[in-house]
Amino acid sequence: MKLALYSYWRSSCSWRVRIALHCKGLDYAYRAVDLVKGEQWEEAHGQRSPMHQVPALEVEEGGRAVVLVQSMAILEWLDERFPAPPLLPADPLGRARVRSLAEHVNAGIQPYQNTAPRRLLSAERKGLEDEYTRHFLALGLRGLEAAVAPGAGRFCHGDSVTLADLFLVPQLYGARRFGVELAGCPTLLRVEAACAALEPFQRAAPERQPDAPP
């Protein structure tokens, strides 16, 4: 099997997939897509990703090549195809909880820092985009803290890394990038520190990617 990840160094969605690939011990080719230069809008990438987004994971296996898009779908496929170590708990309720925590970030927090709505708001009034992003990231992370705390151990769900942690770490990076105060999220910060000690998270960090600025 050959894997190629179309990624941008600072994309939180791509970052989640990089962590998973390293957790699973999988080799992959890194294919940079520069979102600042607009390379996602080129025809070649549009053929890979109809929404012109990253990540996109190209899979070659058994003489067949397919491209998977959307981080949640990619992560679920990776966990099914390469089940060790698992990124979802064994019990149905645990899996539901982890998926819900991941979706808190995926659907309820991360979209507020996306480039497209920020550009639209900036055109309306300079600075409005930062107010918007900080407000909704802070609101979402307070909710995530309340959701994670009751079932947290060393990580978001007990003492094993799950999908929830893969979504949390990039989101906290994004929060800092936009100046969000995180003092009210002690559980999330504790989990982040535990993740930061692990090699898969270290190798997936933005600054260690081939397309990161020098």
Q: Which two tokens stand for residue 115?
A: 């480039």
Element (H, E) at 67: strand 64-69
Q: Look up tokens 């900036």; give the residue.
A: 122
Query: Whole-model pTM?
Result: 0.96
C-alpha to C-alpha distance for 70 and 14, rounded to whole angstroms: 9
C-alpha to C-alpha distance for 156 and 124, rounded to whole angstroms: 38
In the beta sheet, which residues pair with residue 197? Answer: none
* pLDDT at residue 51, as a whole number: 96
| 92-200: CATH, from 1.10.340.30, 3.30.70.890, 3.30.360.10, 1.20.1050.10 | 1.20.1050.10
The mean pLDDT of the chain is 97
pLDDT over 70 for what percent of the chain?
100
* pLDDT at residue 78, as a whole number: 98
Structurally, at CATH architecture level, domain 2-85 sits in 3-Layer(aba) Sandwich (3.40)
- Domain positions in the chain are 2-85, 92-200
